[in-house]
Structure 1
Amino acid sequence: MIVTLLSGDRPRSPLLTLILLAILAGLALAPFLFPGVRSLETAARICIFIVLVASYDLLLGYTGIVSFAHTMFFGLGAYGVALASEHIGRGFGALAVGTVAGAVAAALLAMVIGLFSLRVRAIFFAMITLAVASAVAVLVSQLSQITGGEDGLNYRIPRELTPAFRWGGKLFDVNLNGKLLNYYLVFFCSLGLFLLMLRIVNSPFGRVLQAIRENDFRAEAIGYRVVRYRVAATCISAAVAALAGSLFAVWLRYVGPDTTLSFEIMLDILLMVVIGGMGTMYGAVVGATLFVLAQNYLQNLMGLASGATEGVPVVSDLLDPDRWLLWLGVLFILSVYFFPTGIVGRLRAGR
């Protein structure tokens, strides 16, 4: 049963298996193991970014396509839910309509971009996607009557997914309310999408994508329509990214250019892919988990370390919490240096 769910793609490393099981158990039991608003927010963000990073790895790691428009598709899914909730009303029907509309819009836009630009060389395609993503971000900021502009949109989701909804008392000191239901909606949807991505990359379609990545001329010579496969991969990746954006919108109950469309998020996705390991779905799990945890807790850990070394002037200054981005960059450089194929690639190579 487990092999079927993993689509035959086993971790192939005892240590990697333990890490993945620990992450799965931690996310599945996060509300009970790590009580608190911040920890639950971190766990939900990890779930969403695992799906987002996995969808981008389908392009970069499995197909060899460099794109800078992934946050655009992520934002389309988020704004789809926001606009549907704003205009249709508070209900699960609005969430469904917004989710489907966002995924379809993302897939269609990806198809248009792919058909017109995937015939050019990789660097030119990357520049085209960057230009389109920048144009969409500017358009969203200027259409304030529809999108809320720079202020974004606040909207109401079904009451059953909010803390105001109580469906029980307490279980292990955890309130049984709509916030808990919302988290498990995010968790199980993210798990299902990740397993779907794992199935896609281990299917015959996924093998063709890897062949195109290794040598597109040879793949074309043996009869595969390279452009069609690349466009299909781009559409699937965009649709899954939009679904991740929809989950993010349901969880956050707010969307704005800075939270869904910023280029900083695109850079974070790239870092997660590189840290975890390109060309492996498990890399998305490890990379997203480590990066989101570092984003949320590295500054606090540095504050503790700075306080503990207060008597040592130079060390205390270096560990100042305001320098957490510096140390995050150092950690990234070290991870690339010691794990050039990513953490997952290194663990599999050294098994």
Structure 2
Amino acid sequence: MIRSLLSADYPRSRLVAAMLLAIVVLLALVPFVFPGARSMSVAAKILVFVLLVASYDLLLGYTGIVSFAHTMFFGIGAYGVAIASTRLDATWGALAVGILCALALSALLALVIGLFSLRVKAIFFAMITLAVASAFQTLASQLSEVTGGEDGLSFKVPRLLRPSFEPFENPILGLDVDGRVITYYLLFFAVLVLFLMLLRIVNSPFGRVLQAIRENDFRAEAIGYRTVVFRTVSNVLAALFATLAGALLAIWLRYNGPDTSLSFEIMLDTLLIVVIGGMGTMYGAVIGSALFVFAQSYLQDMMKWISGGLESVPLLAALFSPDRWLLWLGLLFVLSVYHFPTGIVGRLRARAIERARGGGK
């Protein structure tokens, strides 16, 4: 059963397995253990980033394609839900229409970008995707009648997902179940299923070809694989999963705007998480997203607590000032790259393999 779910791609490291299990269990129990609005929002953001980063890992880690247009597809998914829910009634049908239209647009754009751009060198493809993403963000900001412009769109969701909806009179295990909790578990199970689908894709024969292209595209072409076709399909698949991640974010926030899903900051965060977690591992998306989003959300609070305890030492108190949280976040990133050059999962897997070989001698 587990072999089938994980597509025979086990963590291959006890520590990685323990970290993955802890993250999944904590995310599953957040509404019961940490029922506050902030903790649930952080957990929901982690879930969205797990899917977004995993989809980008399919592109970068498994295919070797550097694209800066990934957040464009993320934004298309969010805008699809927002626009459909604004123009139509707040129903499941509206959500379905928005998601399907967003998927169709993302597939078309990814196909066009792939067919016309993947024949050029990697740096030129990266620049092309950056230009396309910037143009799309500008377009979304200017089409105020459709997208809401800089103000974005606030919309209603089906009644089952609204915070005011309370299906049970009494708490369940101490938790007052409402539409917000239902929405959270919708995100949780959707991300779980979609992540397992991505894991299946990268461990299929198709995924093996992508890895061969990443390692040596000339050799892959020489043995009969049409690299442009495989790269284009990979680009389309990654775009579709990113679109679904954007749709889930919009459903959770019940709002979407240019800065929410199209900002270049999200693209940079995605790149950082892929590097921190480990490119070409998939599991790195889970661990990297959890660590990065947690640090991004709570590092400032932790520094405020540390600074308060060091008031007697003004220099140290100033060093740990909450206003310098970005400095410390950057330092943590540099240290993680230095100690884990192949990412956390990549490094821990390599250590486990080394120990297994050493024990076999």
TM-score range, shorter chain: over 0.9
Residue 171 of structure 1 deviates from its aligned partner by 2.0
Which residue pairs with 1:208 in the alignment?
Answer: 209
Task: State how far apart, in whole Å, the 2-side matches of 1:159 and 1:266 are.
Answer: 33
Which residue pairs with 1:259 in the alignment?
Answer: 260
Which residue pairs with 1:185 in the alignment?
Answer: 186
Task: State how far apart, in whole Å, the 1-side matches of 2:239 and 2:42 are.
Answer: 24
SS of residue in 2 equivalent to 1:29: helix
Task: State how far apart, in whole Å, the 1-side matches of 2:291 and 2:116 are.
Answer: 36
Residue 317 of structure 1 deviates from its aligned partner by 0.6
Q: Aligned AA for 1:315?
A: L
Task: State how far apart, in whole Å, the 2-side matches of 1:38 and 1:170 are.
Answer: 20
Which residue pairs with 1:63 in the alignment?
Answer: 63
RMSD: 0.6
Task: State how far apart, in whole Å, the 1-side matches of 2:222 and 2:293 are.
Answer: 42
Q: Aligned AA for 1:46?
A: I
Which residue pairs with 2:88 in the alignment?
Answer: 88
Task: State how far apart, in whole Å, the 2-side matches of 1:53 and 1:350 are.
Answer: 24
1:287 aligns with 2:288: yes
Which residue pairs with 1:176 in the alignment?
Answer: 177
Q: Aligned AA for 2:240?
A: A
SS of residue in 1 equivalent to 2:62: coil
Task: State how far apart, in whole Å, the 2-side matches of 1:20 and 1:173 are.
Answer: 26
1:271 aligns with 2:272: yes
Task: State how far apart, in whole Å, the 2-side matches of 1:98 and 1:76 are.
Answer: 10
Task: State how far apart, in whole Å, the 2-side matches of 1:211 and 1:100 are.
Answer: 32
Task: State how far apart, in whole Å, the 1-side matches of 2:225 and 2:347 are.
Answer: 32
Residue 204 of structure 1 deviates from its aligned partner by 0.2
Structure-to-structure mapping, 1:1-150, within 5 angstroms: 1-150=1-150
Which residue pairs with 1:331 in the alignment?
Answer: 332
Which residue pairs with 1:161 in the alignment?
Answer: 161
Task: State how far apart, in whole Å, the 2-side matches of 1:104 and 1:42 are.
Answer: 30
Q: Aligned AA for 2:12?
A: R
Residue 173 of structure 1 deviates from its aligned partner by 2.8
Task: State how far apart, in whole Å, the 2-side matches of 1:117 and 1:349 are.
Answer: 35
Task: State how far apart, in whole Å, the 2-side matches of 1:308 and 1:349 are.
Answer: 39
Residue 106 of structure 1 deviates from its aligned partner by 0.7
Task: State how far apart, in whole Å, the 1-side matches of 2:171 and 2:36 are.
Answer: 14
Task: State how far apart, in whole Å, the 2-side matches of 1:125 and 1:112 are.
Answer: 13
SS of residue in 2 equivalent to 1:311: coil
The Cα offsets for residues 250-297 of structure 1, whole Å up to 9 and x where unpaired, read as 000000000000000000000000000000100000110001001110
SS of residue in 2 equivalent to 1:176: coil
Which sections of structure 2, spanning at least 5 residues, go unmatched? 353-361
Which residue pairs with 1:242 in the alignment?
Answer: 243
SS of residue in 1 equivalent to 2:176: strand
Residue 138 of structure 1 deviates from its aligned partner by 0.3
SS of residue in 1 equivalent to 2:177: strand
The Cα offsets for residues 193-230 of structure 1, whole Å up to 9 and x where unpaired, read as 10000000000000000000000000000000000000
The Cα offsets for residues 70-126 of structure 1, whole Å up to 9 and x where unpaired, read as 100000000000111011211001111111111121111000011000000000000
Which sections of structure 1, spanning at least 5 residues, go unmatched? none
Residue 240 of structure 1 deviates from its aligned partner by 0.3
Percent of residue pairs bearing the same amino acid type: 66
SS of residue in 1 equivalent to 2:292: helix
Corresponding residue pairs, total: 351
Task: State how far apart, in whole Å, the 1-side matches of 2:173 and 2:42 are.
Answer: 20
Task: State how far apart, in whole Å, the 2-side matches of 1:171 and 1:38 are.
Answer: 20
TM-score (norm 2): 0.96
Q: Aligned AA for 1:296?
A: S
Task: State how far apart, in whole Å, the 1-side matches of 2:67 and 2:181 are.
Answer: 35
Q: Aligned AA for 2:320?
A: L
SS of residue in 2 equivalent to 1:269: helix
Task: State how far apart, in whole Å, the 2-side matches of 1:194 and 1:281 are.
Answer: 8
Query: Could you list the runs of 4 or more consecutive aligned residues of structure 1 that deviate by over 4 angstroms after TM superposition?
Result: none
